[in-house]
Each structure stands twice: as C-alpha cells, then as structure tokens.
Amino acid sequence: MKAFMVERYGDKAGVRAGEMPAPQVGADDVLVRIHAASVNPLDLKLRDGAFKVILPYRLPLVLGNDFAGVVVRVGPAVTRFAEGDEVYARPDKDRIGTFAELIAVHQDDVALKPAGLTMEEAASLPLVALASWQALVGRAQVRPGQKVLIHAGAGGVGTIAVQLAKELGAYVAATASTAKVDMVKDLGADVVVDYEKQAFETVLDGYDVVLDTLGGETLAKSLQVLKPGGKIISVAGPFDAAFARELGANPVHWLAMGALSFRTRLRARRRHVTYSYLFMKASGDELRELTMLVDAGTIRPVVDRVFPFDQTPEAMEYVEKGRAKAGKVVVAMT
C-alpha cells in the first residue's frame, strides 16, 4: 500500500511516499480503507523526534493520527463492526499511521462515522474531539456555571473545546486573533479576547479551568486567571510524571518528566491551583459519546482546507507554518 513515512527524525524533507506492506489484521481488529485523515501538530512533533525517548517507534514510521474510512475486513473476534461500515477513529499511540491507504485498528478504538458528515469532516474530529473530551469531561469534570478559558479558540482543539464546554454549561472565554474573533464567538464563546489587542491575563479572572493548547508564556500567564482550586490542563506544556506513569515508563523517566514541569507545578502550587499534562488516548466509547453530540448539531467540525493525498507533505508544511485560518487541515485519499 502507498503511505507517507518519516525515515529519520528531525528531517523536514524526510517525509516521503513509499510502499509499505498491508497491515496485519488481529482477531479484534478492523481493517479500514482510509478515505481521509487529518494533520495534527502531533504529527510534526513525531516527525521531529519530540517523543522518541518515551514513544520509541521503529523507523520508517508512517505518520497520521486520525482518520475516517470504510471497513473492508474484520477479525474473527470483532462484534461491533462489519464490512462496509463507515467509521472514524484515533488509533492507539502504538498503532498510528493514517497517512496510508489502509490501517488495522482495534475495535475498541473505533466508532461509526457521524451520518451527516463527509469523510473529510469526520476525519478532522477524532484526535481534537477526544482531547477536548478527556480534558474537559474526564480531567476537569466541568460543571454548569463554571468558567472555562480555552486558548487558540480557532485552532483544531479550540474549535471543538469551545463547543463542548458550552454544551457542558460553562461560561466560556477563548483567545483568538483579530480576524478570528467573530468565528470563535459563532462557535459559542461568551467572550473572546483578541490577543493582538489585549493581554488575556489582564482582562480575565476567577476561572475554574484553563485548557492550554500553546504552552510557553501562555501557560505561565494562564496561572494568573485561575481562582484557588482551579485547574490548568495543557496539551502543549511540559510533560509531567503522571504522563510517564501512564505510558508505563521506568522511574528514571518519571523523574525526568517531573523535572521538566517542576517550575510550572511549583508556580501552580503557590497560587493554589493544579497543573497537568494531557496526552489524549484512543477511545471508541468516548467517540460514540461525541458522535451523538455531532448528530444532534451540538458540535460541528471546522475544516480549513483539504489536500489530496499525494500532497501530504505540503499539508504538513501548511500546518507547520500556521497558514490555516481556523480548524483542521485534512488529506483526502479518494
């Protein structure tokens, strides 16, 4: 099968098309012919080797972390799906590779595609929707009336997180550039801080939850807007020891990752708030919950641009250079 892969870490020009063997299908697997896959910042980090110590993939590595497609074969133990089903998923971290014609995925990680979405729209959702769900529902346990700040409200995670937070009954603030303020308001944000004109930490206060998608100075400043007992959850900030334990890493890695986030956690403790790093997990059950929200019109995908499959490297460059106006960038195989 044709696939786009990286042969050595850190080589931006090293993402190339090549032929790979068709995936082996285990007893609990579904084999899916991929119709569309989305490009995520995670793909860029994997290409550059940012996770190579804790996620030791064998090279060449086929990139791509979510998809939509059609089931073409099922393993003998599969009970949830049949040939011909239209599905979408974020594969488990050990089985990525959606920039390809085929992928084998455990049935527990797959859900039926929302009926009203195109393949391209569906492919834009799994990773960012699961990240939003696991941050706001699983980790933060957002309740009606709480105040939630979501950074980069026009980004891939942000566009979904704003909609989900509103569905959970929160008062939602988001940050965005001048050109994207109206779009983020249209997604449901109660207040949008134009970061080109205002510093969010000077106009927001008393928040229960911050979902950080940017890291760096944005993460540090976000501590100032939380009230005592608040939580900041980052998908971009420094790793922590809890993440190392989730991965099954050895105690040396626990200490190393704890050191990476020590300063942030110390600052958080001084303000009587908590910091945690989130690396989202595959989950068909959570995707089914999200599918119901999509089918009900509560959450809608935001797709910036669709590239043909043979332009996957160009799609990655488009994301890396920040050219997307809002939402996700997708590659279409058919």
One domain, residues 57 and 192: no
Q: Do the domain assignments include residue 286?
A: no
Together in a domain, 181 and 57 = no
Domain that holds residue 60: 2-124+301-332
Answer yes or no: do 7 and 115 share one domain. yes
Q: What is the pTM of this model?
A: 0.95
Whether 285 is in a domain gets the answer no
Same domain flag for 98 and 192: no
Contacts by 15-22, CB closer than 8 A, 24 or more apart: 15/47, 15/63, 15/312, 15/313, 15/316, 16/313, 17/310, 17/312, 18/60, 20/60, 20/62, 20/100, 22/102
Domain assignment present for 48: yes
**Are 98 and 187 members of one domain?**
no
Residue 239 placed within a domain: yes
| Alpha helices, H only, 72-117 | none
Domain identity same for 311 and 273 = no
Distance CA 246, CA 30 (A): 25
29 part of a folded domain? yes
Q: Is 295 domain-assigned?
A: no
> What CATH code is carried by the domain that includes residue 204?
3.40.50.720
Residues 114 and 148 occupy one common structural domain: no
287 in a structural domain:
no
Tokens 């996700």: give the residue. Answer: 328
- Who's near 265: CB < 8 A, 6+ residues apart? 240, 275
DSSP secondary-structure letter at 100? Answer: B
Is the Cα dihedral 32, 37, 42, 47 positive or negative?
Answer: positive
With the CA atoms of 88, 66, 233 and 264 taken in that order, what torsion angle do they form, in degrees rounded to the nearest 10?
170
Between CA 192 and CA 175 the distance in angstroms is 6
**Quick one: 265 and 307 in the same domain?**
no
- Same-domain status, 138 and 269: yes
pLDDT at 264: 87
CA–CA gap between residue 84 and residue 75 (Å, rounded): 14
Whether 210 is in a domain gets the answer yes
pLDDT of res. 6: 93
pLDDT computed for residue 173 by the predictor: 98
Counted domains in the chain: 2
Q: Which residue has the tokens 């009606």?
A: 144
CA 133, distance to chain mean position in Å, is 10
State residue 201's pLDDT score: 97
- Can you give the pLDDT of all 334 residues of the chain as single tens digits? 999 999 988 877 778 999 999 999 999 999 999 999 999 999 999 999 888 877 889 899 999 999 999 999 999 999 999 999 999 999 999 999 999 999 999 999 999 999 999 999 999 999 999 999 999 999 999 999 999 999 999 999 999 999 999 999 999 999 999 999 999 999 999 999 999 999 999 999 999 999 999 999 999 999 999 999 999 999 998 887 677 667 666 666 656 666 767 888 889 899 999 999 999 999 999 999 999 999 999 999 999 999 999 999 999 999 999 989 999 999 999 7
Same domain? For 133 and 271 the reply is: yes
Together in a domain, 186 and 261: yes
